[in-house]
Amino acid sequence: MRVFLDTSAFVKRYIEEPGTDKVVEICIEADSLVLCVICLPEMISTLNRLVRENRLSVDDYQKTRDLILSEMEDVEICYVTPHVVTQTMRCLETHALRAMDALHLGCALMVKPDLFVSSDHRQLEAARREGLKVMEV
């Protein structure tokens, strides 16, 4: 099974929060994981926010960052191409999405995953309307 995870879902693989068990299970069962190229910067941003909020120690941040970077070798990355941009703009015109959420969806529409995973309700509804099989975590 080819699974596309947006940042709100993929970060749960590394930070314990509601939905973490489900994401870990999906990642184990998947034949391949696909992420939008912006997923890694968004995750690093999230981790740094947690450090600033004293919810994650600097040491834990560094360990988590290093783990994410080492595991990225096993993940397929969808890059921003003219076709992805076209899909993203169409999604913005069709659905009530923020730009980065639409970019995740634009990438997913290009790679045609078996499953689209997110914790963003608006993004999941847009993905469902676009014909993707979705899972909320």
Token pair of 120 as six digits: 């963003």
Q: State the CATH number of the domain containing residue 34.
A: 3.40.50.1010
Write down the pLDDT at residue 78. 98
The residue range of the domain holding 57 is 2-136
pLDDT one digit per residue (tens) for the chain, 137 residues: 999 999 999 999 999 999 999 999 999 999 999 999 999 999 999 999 999 999 999 999 999 999 999 999 889 999 999 999 999 999 999 999 999 999 999 999 999 999 999 999 999 999 999 999 999 99
Write down the pLDDT at residue 38. 97
The alpha-carbon radius of gyration of the chain (Å, integer) is 15
Number of compact structural domains in the chain: 1
Its pTM stands at 0.95
**CA–CA–CA angle 97, 90, 8 (5° rounding):** 35
